[in-house]
Amino acid sequence: MNLLRFALVMAWRESRRARGRLILHVAAVSLGVGAVVAINSFGANVNRAVIHQARALLGADLELQAPEPLDSLAAMLDSARRAGAAVSRVTSFGSMVLALRTGRTRLVEIRAIEGQFPYYATITTAPPGLWPTLQTSRCALVDSAVLITLGARVGDTVAVGEARFPIAGAVTDAPGDVGLRTALGPRVFLPARYLASTELLGFGSRARYRVYLKFASDLEGQRFLATHRAALDAAGIGHRTVRDEEEDLNRALGTLARYLGLVALVALLLGALGVASAVRVFVRSKLSTAALLRCLGATERSVFAIYLAQAIAVGLIGASGGALLGVAAQTVLPAVARAFLPLEVTPALDGRVVLSGLALGVLTAVVSAFVPLLALRTATPLQALRRDQTGPTPGLRAGRLAAFAAVAGGVVVLSLWEAPRPGVGLGFAGGVGGAALLLWLTAVGLMNGLRRFLPATAPYVVRQGLANLFRPENQTVAVILSLGFGVCLLGTIYVVQRNLVAQFAPDTGPGRANLVLFDIEPDQRSDVVDFLSGHGVAPAGFIPVVPARITGVNGQPIAALRDSSRRGSFSRAALVREYRNTYRDSLVGGEEITAGQWWGPTGGLTRQGLGSSREPSEPMARISVDEDLAKALGLSVGSHVTWDVQGVTLESEVTSLRRVSWGRFQPNFFVVFEPGTLEDAPQTYASLVRVAAPSLRATLQRDLVVRFPNITCLDIALVEQSLDSVLTKVSTAIRFMALFSLASGVTILIGGLATSRLQRERETLLLRMLGASDVQIRSIVFMEYILWGSLAGAVGLLLAGAAGWGVVRFVLEMPFTLPWKALAAAGLGVAGLTTAVGWASSGDLLRKSPLAAWRALIE
Amino acid sequence: MPYLWTHMMLEAIDLEQTYWSAGAPLTVLKHINLAIEPQAFVAIVGPSGSGKTTLLGLLAGLDAPTKGIVRLDGQNLADLSENARASVRATKVGFVFQTFQLIPTLTALENVLVPLELRGARTSASTPRARHWLDRVGLADRAHHYPAQLSGGEQQRVGLARAFAGEPKVLLADEPTGSLDAETGMRVIDLLIEINRDVRTTLVLVTHDPTLAARAQRVVRLAGGSIVADGPPDLG
């Protein structure tokens, strides 16, 4: 009989008695593979959707945009029109709207449409077919959320600035709409020709101007961009093609899918761990069979092959189950991710993903079974004759080292494969390795510590329970590793989410402002103070806001800088954007100087102000720059920045860098000028107000819109709600993937219980024969599990804290706070749950009568 | 019928034990009537599968019989819950096993302590007694050795010390020499019988070995789940 056939036949026969137990190994593999297949299929589907929908998402062949009216493009657009292109304009800006019937207000995004935009998609309205009416009648179409928050219905009139529009209908679906879209800024669509009548687009308004072009052919489009690219770049006008859209979407969504992929990878690693620990015990129980086979003349290799064949079978069955699970799960994933996906993702089967999932499952099972299987090679024929042998001798050192290297290599390769960037992959693999090492050290330390310092005077059940933790064939390492990993993963997700929420959730403590008024014009200041006093609100100070652009850095004109930005040394966006700067003499809360020196409260020096011509000896205007912006622009203390402040040139010198806490609910500024420099520049003001009662806040906002239509009002409660819904939706997707890991962890726990129960049966039986009661047996188990659970929980959560800190501090770059109370509660929960599982499982040990168990043992 | 008026240490009246195996009943013991006087030394013999182990188990209260009565020191075990039977075992029954059944993670001394500690006795109070018993089996100097560090004969002697340390009224031994060579086995049996005589325990011993059975006062022979002979060894 050749080796392979013998191995396969024996593997099949040998598995007969153990198939029930193999189900757990299979489940462990299935969950891991399921997670990976689900997330990779999802990634493939998203990719396909991007390619199909990018044009619809952009709505045109080319988008041009700038923060100022694109009047300079008239000649360029005319020539395009002559070549057969269609042109649309969309102007968007934030503004308050007021529903006249209900008197309710809402900050919305106004979009004024001119032309046939979008060209490659349909905007669905209720009642249907209303989109073209924007071109023919004076009316407004609004997002459904606007109707809800205003308490308005179709036919009501909304006030937008000085103009009034009847609501013709609601926009129910537009391409690129994300579930979160309307939470962040619901839209009101208006015909562009009535935009002027709102009188909202005066000085200082933060409007975005976009032109959309549809060309007669792709070639025409390419020719247009090739001709005008330089001119557009020089004028600081952004351009975006369908290809750009596609690339950006793929990058963004690909990154998302791959981060989720790492979460899936953890599930797979946990599955591998489950297989390894189960196989270890399985092999232990097969040692005598292996020795017997050797006695009967089987070679070492054929014995090894028998059990390797079983491991491959487990991998194959598990991976198949996992592939099915993954395919099933990816029909759910798009629904979970819908809230933040701008695409219609249709689940489809991707053969390559399924095949690679299968291969991954088999490989995982085989690699993780390999180390424990090595023990079989040491089964000598003599062992069959000596039933009293105490344990397998350690495997071949070289073989074990090779197998461990294979496992470590496997983890690195898988991490690199799933990770969005090599750095992240290596970091992840390193984190997994570090976490595994720490958990392993904890387990080994626990065992050694107990072995050495087992309290000799403790009651018997305590000593026995503790001794079980380091007895031969104990599951301490496997349980602490798997449980700790699962806890660490879920804990990390929790810690990161809590930090995100805390960072963005505005401080709502008493005394804190909860309304921000923007765009107050200088001559409105006293009226606003009167208005606020009239509503019983303490008049607040005014914060000046001065719009400006950068025209040069360190003497280099911006055009030159833009060229180098293409080579990646500068952030292009940071160069061309419009800055809204302020001036003041002191730092505000949430700001911290990280380099250089803040100017004192009293200026002393007379510096160059706006409009005055600078003498060479005269010091320049001093500015303080946000440290991240400084990084993006390559600025440091001493750098010079040249500004265009509404057409007037102003030189400035960076004298300090600040860290700004952007999550604080207050107007924050990238650049602060020292007083005495910008006072004469055209400016608007912002003001912070606190109005405690929600009803009063609503009244104030309504009256404000009527009295000062140009002033925008931001309500903190709304901001908070929106952020909450965003974070909830994103974390739902992550939690969905984490569920796989949790399920894997539970499988391993059950597997650990099952295997340790087999080992424990004999001893429990003995104790029962000697007269131990239920309570004594259960107490022994209790000791074991409470130590397992609390140690795994504690170390897992410790790691979660560390991992969360790393992610928050270095990936998200936000300040970190440790939600230690919640983590401590979770730790207790894990310990309690593990103990409960152990307690419940020990019931099984007590169910059989001692005599029946004894007979089973000796027969 | 002397046991009608004498107090019996172990009694089985019309005992029957049936197991369900693969959906079919399997009667392992039937119509067992047996009475064992205090301090008696009884050997139960019979071929494999004759029900020896089951009988021993029922006498020890390891299970409730399907039918009939088992009395240990006058107490009907069939009336008791498993926990109550466990407490009877802990206080009145000692076991010696074929494969020694020492707990591998405990030292010899700690293994002897187990029955005492299961009763809730404090370790400090029980240690001198456990030491005494280890000394009695000649292993005083091996108290802190683990089972793996002891030979088979030594392990079984620890087993004897454990069995006697609880001062049981009944000592049940299941093939106590089954895992030992003839000479070591004989020495263990000598020790067992000697201690048993000293402390006046009732000893019930299951064995295949005719020479071992011949040393008992009485031999009960089982075949096919029933008692086929019961009398002095020469008749057995």
- CB of A460 within 8 Å of any CB in chain B? yes
Query: Residues A780, A465: contact at Cβ < 8 Å?
Result: yes
Integer-rounded Cα Rg, in Å, for chain A is 34
CB spacing of A773 vs B83 below 8 angstroms: yes
Q: Which residue has the tokens 């620890």?
A: B158
- Comparing CA positions, the residue from A762, A837, A778 lying closest to residue A461 is A778
Query: Distance between the two ends of chain A, CA-based, in angstroms?
Result: 33
Distance between A849 CA and the closest CA of chain B, angstroms: 6
CB spacing of A855 vs B53 below 8 angstroms: yes
| pLDDT score for B70 | 92
Whole-number Å distance between alpha carbons of A713 and A95: 8
Q: Which residues pair with B35 in a beta bridge?
A: B11
Whole-number Å distance between alpha carbons of A365 and A342: 38
Average pLDDT, chain A: 78
- CB of A282 within 8 Å of any CB in chain B? no
> Mind listing the pLDDT tens digit for each residue in A71-92?
888 888 898 888 888 999 999 8
CB spacing of A771 vs B63 below 8 angstroms: no
CB spacing of B57 vs A854 below 8 angstroms: yes
CB spacing of A769 vs B95 below 8 angstroms: yes
With 70 as the cut, is the pLDDT of residue A737 above it? no
The ipTM, to two decimals, is 0.80
| pLDDT score for A754 | 63
Whole-number Å distance between alpha carbons of A533 and A846: 77
Q: Phi, psi at residue B229, to the nearest 5°?
A: -155, 150
With 60 as the cut, is the pLDDT of residue B111 above it? yes
- CB of A848 within 8 Å of any CB in chain B? no
Nearest-CB residue to A850 (from B63, B105, B118): B63
- Comparing CA positions, the residue from A759, A743, A747 lying closest to residue A282 is A759
Q: ω before A118 within 30° of 0 (cis)?
A: yes
**pLDDT category of residue A177 using cuts at 50, 70 and 90:** low
Interface mutation target, options A775, A851, A858, chain B, most CBs of B under 10 Å: A851
| pLDDT score for B168 | 92
> Mind listing the pLDDT tens digit for each residue in A418-449?
776 787 778 888 888 888 888 889 888 888 88
The DSSP string of A166-190 is EEEEEEEE-TT--TTHHHH--EEEE
Of residues A637 and A845, more confidence is placed in A637
Question: Region A811-835: what's the mean pLDDT?
Answer: 82
Chain B hits for A851, CB-CB cut-off 8 Å, are: 54, 57-58, 62-63
- CB of A774 within 8 Å of any CB in chain B? yes
Least trusted range by pLDDT, from A165-179, A247-261, B103-117, B182-196:
A247-261
With 70 as the cut, is the pLDDT of residue A16 above it? no
With 70 as the cut, is the pLDDT of residue A742 above it? no
With 90 as the cut, is the pLDDT of residue B203 above it? yes
H or E stretch covering A660: strand A648-660
| pLDDT score for A105 | 82
- CB of A448 within 8 Å of any CB in chain B? no
Query: Residues B16, B42: contact at Cβ < 8 Å?
Result: no
With 70 as the cut, is the pLDDT of residue A379 above it? no
CB spacing of B90 vs A771 below 8 angstroms: yes
Query: Residues A367, A410: contact at Cβ < 8 Å?
Result: yes
Of residues A290 and A138, more confidence is placed in A138
**pLDDT category of residue A305 using cuts at 50, 70 and 90:** confident
Q: Pick the most confident of A116-120, A136-140, A612-616, A745-749.
A: A136-140
Q: Pick the most confident of A194-198, A472-476, A693-697.
A: A194-198
Chain B hits for A773, CB-CB cut-off 8 Å, are: 83, 86-87, 90
CB spacing of A851 vs B95 below 8 angstroms: no
Chain B hits for A471, CB-CB cut-off 8 Å, are: 104-105
Q: Pick the most confident of A80-94, A372-386, A449-463, A609-623.
A: A80-94
> Count of residues for chain B?
236
> Mind listing the pLDDT tens digit for each residue in A333-378?
777 666 666 667 777 778 888 888 888 788 877 777 777 777 777 6
Chain B hits for A772, CB-CB cut-off 8 Å, are: 86, 90, 118
Whole-number Å distance between alpha carbons of A186 and B152: 83
Token pair listed for A256: 């998302």
Nearest-CB residue to B62 (from A464, A769, A773): A769
Whole-number Å distance between alpha carbons of B187 and B177: 10
- CB of A452 within 8 Å of any CB in chain B? no
Q: Where are the alpha helices (DSSP H) in A375-509?
A: 381-385, 397-418, 422-453, 460-468, 476-504
CB spacing of B57 vs A464 below 8 angstroms: no
The DSSP string of A287-316 is HHHHHHHHHTT--HHHHHHHHHHHHHHHHH
At residue A69's C-alpha, the angle toward residues A67 and A70, to 5°, is 105
> Mind listing the pLDDT tens digit for each residue in A701-728?
888 888 888 888 877 777 766 666 666 6
- Cα distances (angstroms) measured from residue B5 to each of B1, B15, B39, B201, B203: 8, 21, 17, 20, 21
Q: Pick the most confident of A36-45, A370-379, A593-602, B175-184.
A: B175-184
| pLDDT score for A204 | 62
Nearest-CB residue to A851 (from B57, B90, B105): B57
**pLDDT category of residue A207 using cuts at 50, 70 and 90:** confident
With 60 as the cut, is the pLDDT of residue B107 above it? yes
Token pair listed for A98: 């007021």
Nearest-CB residue to A770 (from B58, B115, B152): B115
Nearest-CB residue to A851 (from B54, B97, B118): B54
> Mind listing the pLDDT tens digit for each residue in A564-611?
655 555 566 677 777 889 998 888 877 888 888 888 765 444 444 555
Query: What residue of A is the nearest CA neighbor of B162?
Result: A770
Q: Phi, psi at residue A58, to the nearest 5°?
A: -75, -30
Whole-number Å distance between alpha carbons of A394 and A375: 7
| pLDDT score for A389 | 43
Query: What residue of B is the nearest CA neighbor of A455?
Result: B123
> Mind listing the pLDDT tens digit for each residue in B31-77?
999 999 999 999 999 988 888 888 998 998 888 888 999 999 989 98
Whole-number Å distance between alpha carbons of A808 and A499: 7
Interface mutation target, options B62, B116, B167, chain A, most CBs of A under 10 Å: B62
